[in-house]
Amino acid sequence: MAVDTPRGLYAPTIRNVDKKTAVEVEAELRALAEKAVKGTITLNELAGHGFTVSNLGHLGVTHFTPIINPPDIAILGVGAIKNTGDRHRGYLTLVFDHRAADGAPAARFLEEIRHQLESLDGG
Protein backbone atom coordinates (compact mmCIF):
# COMPACT_ATOMS: atom_id res chain seq x y z
CA MET A 1 0.00 0.00 0.00
CA ALA A 2 1.42 3.36 -0.97
CA VAL A 3 1.67 5.77 1.97
CA ASP A 4 1.81 9.55 1.54
CA THR A 5 4.27 11.15 3.96
CA PRO A 6 5.80 14.61 4.42
CA ARG A 7 8.95 13.15 2.79
CA GLY A 8 7.13 11.72 -0.22
CA LEU A 9 5.46 8.46 -1.17
CA TYR A 10 6.56 5.19 0.46
CA ALA A 11 5.39 1.66 -0.33
CA PRO A 12 6.03 -0.60 2.69
CA THR A 13 6.26 -4.34 2.12
CA ILE A 14 3.90 -6.78 3.81
CA ARG A 15 5.61 -10.16 3.58
CA ASN A 16 3.83 -13.52 3.28
CA VAL A 17 0.51 -11.74 2.81
CA ASP A 18 -1.02 -14.95 1.44
CA LYS A 19 -0.57 -16.60 4.84
CA LYS A 20 -2.16 -13.78 6.86
CA THR A 21 -5.73 -12.92 7.70
CA ALA A 22 -7.21 -9.62 6.59
CA VAL A 23 -7.05 -8.43 10.21
CA GLU A 24 -3.33 -9.28 10.42
CA VAL A 25 -2.61 -7.52 7.13
CA GLU A 26 -4.51 -4.41 8.27
CA ALA A 27 -2.65 -4.29 11.59
CA GLU A 28 0.73 -4.67 9.89
CA LEU A 29 -0.17 -2.08 7.26
CA ARG A 30 -1.21 0.43 9.93
CA ALA A 31 2.04 -0.13 11.85
CA LEU A 32 4.18 0.24 8.71
CA ALA A 33 2.25 3.32 7.56
CA GLU A 34 2.77 4.93 10.96
CA LYS A 35 6.51 4.21 10.76
CA ALA A 36 6.63 5.68 7.24
CA VAL A 37 4.90 8.88 8.37
CA LYS A 38 7.17 9.19 11.43
CA GLY A 39 10.27 8.56 9.31
CA THR A 40 11.32 5.46 11.24
CA ILE A 41 10.63 2.87 8.54
CA THR A 42 13.66 0.76 7.54
CA LEU A 43 14.95 -0.05 4.07
CA ASN A 44 14.15 -3.72 4.72
CA GLU A 45 10.51 -2.77 5.37
CA LEU A 46 10.40 -1.01 1.99
CA ALA A 47 12.21 -3.64 -0.10
CA GLY A 48 11.07 -6.80 -1.82
CA HIS A 49 7.53 -6.08 -2.98
CA GLY A 50 6.18 -6.83 -6.44
CA PHE A 51 2.66 -5.39 -6.19
CA THR A 52 1.41 -2.08 -4.79
CA VAL A 53 -2.04 -0.79 -3.88
CA SER A 54 -2.56 2.96 -4.29
CA ASN A 55 -5.70 4.35 -2.66
CA LEU A 56 -6.77 7.88 -3.56
CA GLY A 57 -10.39 7.22 -2.61
CA HIS A 58 -9.97 8.89 0.79
CA LEU A 59 -9.20 12.10 -1.14
CA GLY A 60 -12.46 11.82 -3.10
CA VAL A 61 -10.77 10.69 -6.32
CA THR A 62 -12.98 8.18 -8.16
CA HIS A 63 -10.79 7.35 -11.18
CA PHE A 64 -7.05 7.49 -11.73
CA THR A 65 -4.31 5.55 -13.46
CA PRO A 66 -1.47 4.64 -11.12
CA ILE A 67 2.06 4.18 -12.45
CA ILE A 68 4.06 1.00 -11.86
CA ASN A 69 7.22 1.60 -9.87
CA PRO A 70 10.01 -0.88 -10.66
CA PRO A 71 10.57 -3.60 -9.60
CA ASP A 72 6.80 -4.07 -9.20
CA ILE A 73 4.92 -5.93 -11.90
CA ALA A 74 1.54 -4.37 -11.09
CA ILE A 75 -0.26 -1.66 -9.15
CA LEU A 76 -3.93 -1.49 -8.18
CA GLY A 77 -5.54 1.94 -8.02
CA VAL A 78 -8.48 2.21 -5.61
CA GLY A 79 -10.93 5.07 -6.09
CA ALA A 80 -13.59 6.51 -3.80
CA ILE A 81 -16.60 4.39 -2.93
CA LYS A 82 -19.94 6.11 -3.53
CA ASN A 83 -23.38 5.07 -2.35
CA THR A 84 -25.63 5.06 -5.41
CA GLY A 85 -28.80 4.26 -3.48
CA ASP A 86 -29.06 0.58 -4.36
CA ARG A 87 -25.44 -0.30 -3.51
CA HIS A 88 -21.96 1.03 -2.95
CA ARG A 89 -19.87 1.47 -6.10
CA GLY A 90 -16.19 2.09 -6.56
CA TYR A 91 -13.56 1.94 -9.27
CA LEU A 92 -10.44 -0.18 -9.39
CA THR A 93 -7.71 0.25 -11.99
CA LEU A 94 -5.12 -2.49 -12.46
CA VAL A 95 -1.97 -1.47 -14.30
CA PHE A 96 0.41 -4.33 -15.01
CA ASP A 97 3.54 -5.14 -16.96
CA HIS A 98 2.56 -7.25 -19.96
CA ARG A 99 6.01 -8.83 -19.87
CA ALA A 100 5.02 -10.43 -16.55
CA ALA A 101 1.30 -11.13 -17.02
CA ASP A 102 -1.27 -11.40 -19.77
CA GLY A 103 -4.52 -9.46 -19.87
CA ALA A 104 -6.86 -12.40 -19.24
CA PRO A 105 -5.36 -13.43 -15.87
CA ALA A 106 -5.26 -9.76 -14.85
CA ALA A 107 -8.96 -9.44 -15.72
CA ARG A 108 -9.75 -12.59 -13.71
CA PHE A 109 -7.85 -11.09 -10.77
CA LEU A 110 -10.01 -7.95 -10.92
CA GLU A 111 -13.12 -10.09 -11.24
CA GLU A 112 -12.15 -12.01 -8.09
CA ILE A 113 -11.64 -8.74 -6.20
CA ARG A 114 -15.08 -7.57 -7.37
CA HIS A 115 -16.63 -10.86 -6.29
CA GLN A 116 -15.01 -10.67 -2.84
CA LEU A 117 -16.06 -7.04 -2.33
CA GLU A 118 -19.63 -7.70 -3.43
CA SER A 119 -19.89 -10.63 -1.03
CA LEU A 120 -18.98 -8.22 1.81
CA ASP A 121 -21.65 -5.77 0.64
CA GLY A 122 -24.33 -8.47 0.47
CA GLY A 123 -24.45 -7.85 -3.29
List residues with catalytic annotation. 98, 102
Task: Determine the Cα–Cα distance for residues 14 and 106; give it in Å rounded to an integer.
Answer: 21
Three-state SS string over 103-115 comes to HHHHHHHHHHHHH
Write phi, then psi, for 98 (nearest 5 degrees). Answer: -65, -15
Distance of CA 79 to the CA centre of its chain: 10
Q: Is 76 helix (H, G, I), strand (E, B) or coil?
A: strand
